[in-house]
Amino acid sequence: MKGVGGTILWINLSTGDIERKQLDASMIRKYLLGAGYLSKIIYDLVPPGTDPLSPQNVLGIASGLLTGSMFPQSSRHVVAALSPLTDVWGESHAAGFWAPELKFAGYDALIFTGASDHPVYLNIKDDNVMLNNARGLWGKDVFETDDILRAQHGKECRTLAIGQAGENLVRMAAVMNDRDRASARAGLGAVMGAKKIKAVCVRGTGKLEVADPSNYLKHMDEFYKRMLENPFTPGRVKYGTTSLVELMQHIGRLPSYNMKQGVFEGYEKISGERITQEFLVKPRADWSCLQRCGRYTTVRKGPYEYIGGSPEFETQSSMGSRCGNDNLESVLYSHHLCNLYGMDTISVGATISWAMEAWDEGLITSDDTGGIDLSWGNHETIVNLTKMIALREGFGDLLAEGSYRAAKKIGRGTEKFVMTVKKQEIAGQEPRAQKSMGLAAVTSARGADHLYAFPVLDEAGFDDEIKKRFGEQYLPEMAERLNPKYKGIMVAECENYMVVVESVGLCKYGTQIPPEFYYDDVALALRIHNGLDFSKRDLEEIGERIVNLNRLFNVRLGITREDDSLPKRLTDEPAPLGPSAGEVVELDQMLDEYYKARGWDMGTGIPLPETLKRLGLENEAKGIVDLS
């Protein structure tokens, strides 16, 4: 096959053995690469009863079929394992330059099994692959690790690493790459920490041959033209995702005060406009990226001085409005700290905001916090706790477990302020103001998450796209943000497409928002880059297969419809303020429609035998679903 490295490295950390295996063509027909390929490998190797932080867990890092290509936004890789945060399927994705570099070294994926008894890092220079002692790196932050490895192995190297949070088994720890790119969700940095694998340093001097070299640039020029002429692109370059603060405030979808409400009175102070005017150094693209949503920012002086990558809207929401914090410098600095220590800004901010609400209600006091004041908007507390969580110091040690476990431990009724699904903190989408986001958060295989489905077709007037994908009969309801009707159908379709996107290594920007590229474009790219012939229908079915396999992984661990639920606040308490005041999430209605669209049992949420048979998942279903 063209356009790939062709080899997967299997690294047994217990024995130090490194094995090279060829990419399996029949697996690619069924699961593509990236998220799909890892779904199958980890499904086969990680049985129920596995402790996520034990050597028995398997950690995969895989690029997609188009990663390293010239297709717009094709830099991505996926990290996957049994999640130590959710205890179910865990996957997380990032952009950067690391995965293309891995391709140029000749590899498409790394599978880590076992665990080392001392810190190690993997050093890859083309054919030369070695596990090295990482004692000198252990305890270093992500930027220091990058500096040391590139000083030692060459400045052209690209690094992927965990910071102190991963070492300390913080359940919100991220796997970082290229310094400030994060596979942040699902706590997979802690899996690396448990396996004592600190970093992967890569230098690849090879090339990717493509299937249709004569027409490659011609097609890519056309893709580039479409992407650059899309009306969303200039705004994305100018603001990245930061201006979503203003847009979300406008529709009441900006989670504030631990999701009590969807509007924040201080939104202008943490806005994208302010970041752009006062703190932006420049937009920064990753490999083949035309959208350039990455930010490079600086706070020039004061206690929050730094220079580094990002933030995203999610951090402005989680460290800002969600904690009642309108001090933008502290939001930016907390983000920077999360990059240094390697943590998920969403879960960290959401966990702090849970503690703040419990404090506000008098359920957590300074006896619990060791004297730390958890008043809404106390920015010094937010910054301090970010460090303390990463280092598991004092009250931070409790919060490092995530809000679900922390509330279980403290009790006293603090559980009702936990804003999680399947133990993972809900991201910056107040679902009472966009119903599809509420459904997406519960159906996502990795626990609360907006990206597994990324159902944004009802967000910004994409009526034409809905017409194209689903047909006119679903309008206007499907396009209406507050209308639960047809959201089950939409979320199912979006999930199928998004797991395909994660399996070919593309970004959700350009494929979902704006929805410029769809299955036909992906199929064309796979043809000219890889020489693979997939129809739109083939790709849809692969997407459906991956979602069902992720579901089976979770069903095998005991997940049922009961677990596909939102905090009561979002389904039972009407939004108190703002443009979406009075709204709740009509979850049951949407879930019924979703299960029906999926071919899953309405009562249990388990895939029906005919669905599994249609997708060729009979072997995987054995012992879980009775197929007779």
Partner 1 sequence: MNTCSMYYSKVIGPEWSRVRVVRIEPGLDFPLFCRNCVDAPCITACPNEALFRTSKGIVMVNNKKCTGTGACITACPYSAIHLNPDTGKAIKCIQCGECVKRCPADAIWMSSDQDIENRDGDGEIRKLYEEHEQDLYGRKKQ
Q: Residue 68 CB, nearest distance to partner 1 (Å)? A: 6
Residue with tokens 């939409």: 490
Question: For residues 266 and 320, what is the distance between their CA atoms, to the nearest angstrom?
Answer: 9
Q: Residue 227 CB, nearest distance to partner 1 (Å)? A: 8
Q: Does 70 bind partner 1 (CB under 8 A)?
A: yes
In this structure, what token pair is assigned to residue 491? 């979320």
Give the binding range for partner 1 (CB under 8 A) out of 283-291, 382-390, 479-487, 605-613: 283-291
Closer of 118 and 207 to partner 1 (Cβ): 207
Closer of 208 and 478 to partner 1 (Cβ): 208
Task: Answer left, alpha or beta for residue 114, where phi above 0 means left and psi between -120 and 50 means alpha.
Answer: left
599 neighbors 608 (Cβ within 8 angstroms): yes
Closer of 220 and 492 to partner 1 (Cβ): 220
193 neighbors 84 (Cβ within 8 angstroms): no
Residues 6+ apart with CB under 8 A from 229: none
**Sites for partner 1 among residues 369-408 (CB under 8 A):** none
Q: Residue 203 CB, nearest distance to partner 1 (Å)? A: 11
Q: Residue 225 CB, nearest distance to partner 1 (Å)? A: 10
Binding pattern to partner 1, positions 116-155, x when CB under 8 A? ---------------------------x--xx-------x
Residue with tokens 């089950």: 488
Residues 6+ apart with CB under 8 A from 147: none
Binding pattern to partner 1, positions 97-116, x when CB under 8 A? -------x------------
63 neighbors 73 (Cβ within 8 angstroms): no
Give the binding range for partner 1 (CB under 8 A) out of 54-62, 128-136, 287-295, 314-322: 287-295
**Sites for partner 1 among residues 303-362 (CB under 8 A):** 307-308
Handedness of CA 155, 73, 442, 36 (dihedral sign): negative
Residue with tokens 């009562």: 603
Closer of 146 and 401 to partner 1 (Cβ): 146
- Identity (one letter) of the amino acid at 93? H
- Whether omega for the bond prior to residue 476 falls within 30 degrees of 0, making it cis, is yes
Q: Residue 533 CB, nearest distance to partner 1 (Å)? A: 21
621 neighbors 552 (Cβ within 8 angstroms): yes
Instruction: Report the residue from 28, 290, 323, 355 that binds partner 1 according to the rule CB under 8 A.
Output: 290
Closer of 105 and 606 to partner 1 (Cβ): 105
Q: Residue 293 CB, nearest distance to partner 1 (Å)? A: 13
Binding pattern to partner 1, positions 153-172, x when CB under 8 A? --x-----------------
Buried b or exposed e, range 528-567, using 16+ CB within 10 angstroms: bbbebebeeebbbbbbbbbbbbbbbbbbbbebebebbbbb
Instruction: Report the residue from 52, 68, 396, 510 that binds partner 1 according to the rule CB under 8 A.
Output: 68
Closer of 333 and 354 to partner 1 (Cβ): 333
Closer of 105 and 350 to partner 1 (Cβ): 105
Nearest CA among 200, 176, 186 for reference residue 52: 186
Instruction: Report the residue from 153, 226, 269, 284 that binds partner 1 according to the rule CB under 8 A.
Output: 284
Q: Residue 590 CB, nearest distance to partner 1 (Å)? A: 38
Q: What is the CA radius of gyration of the chain?
A: 23
Residues 6+ apart with CB under 8 A from 301: none
Q: Residue 163 CB, nearest distance to partner 1 (Å)? A: 16
How many Cβ atoms are within 10 Å of 51's Cβ, its own excluded?
12
Q: Residue 506 CB, nearest distance to partner 1 (Å)? A: 15
Q: Residue 140 CB, nearest distance to partner 1 (Å)? A: 15
Query: Maximum Cα–Cα distance for the chain, whole Å?
Result: 70
Binding pattern to partner 1, positions 175-194, x when CB under 8 A? ----x---------------
Number of residues that bind partner 1 (CB under 8 A): 34
Instruction: Report the residue from 20, 29, 135, 282 that binds partner 1 according to the rule CB under 8 A.
Output: 282
Closer of 216 and 474 to partner 1 (Cβ): 216
Q: Residue 224 CB, nearest distance to partner 1 (Å)? A: 7
Measured CA distances, 553 to 80, 87, 406, 545, 548 (Å): 13, 11, 26, 12, 9
In this structure, what token pair is assigned to residue 200? 């992967």
Measured CA distances, 549 to 102, 481, 612 (Å): 27, 29, 9
**Sites for partner 1 among residues 191-250 (CB under 8 A):** 205-210, 213-214, 216-217, 221, 224, 227-228, 237
Q: Residue 307 CB, nearest distance to partner 1 (Å)? A: 5
Instruction: Report the residue from 139, 246, 269, 296 that binds partner 1 according to the rule CB under 8 A.
Output: 296
Return the C-alpha torsion angle 335, 339, 340, 346, nearest 10. 60
Question: For residues 64 and 73, what is the distance between their CA atoms, to the nearest angstrom?
Answer: 12
270 neighbors 320 (Cβ within 8 angstroms): yes
Closer of 178 and 458 to partner 1 (Cβ): 178
- Whether omega for the bond prior to residue 514 falls within 30 degrees of 0, making it cis, is yes
Residue with tokens 């072997």: 619
Closer of 214 and 277 to partner 1 (Cβ): 214
Closer of 289 and 542 to partner 1 (Cβ): 289
**Burial class, 207, CB count within 10 angstroms (exposed 0-12 / middle 13-18 / buried 19+):** exposed
Instruction: Report the residue from 211, 285, 581, 624 that binds partner 1 according to the rule CB under 8 A.
Output: 285
Positions that interact with partner 1 (CB under 8 A): 68-70, 104, 143, 146-147, 155, 179, 205-210, 213-214, 216-217, 221, 224, 227-228, 237, 281-282, 284-285, 288, 290, 292, 296, 307-308
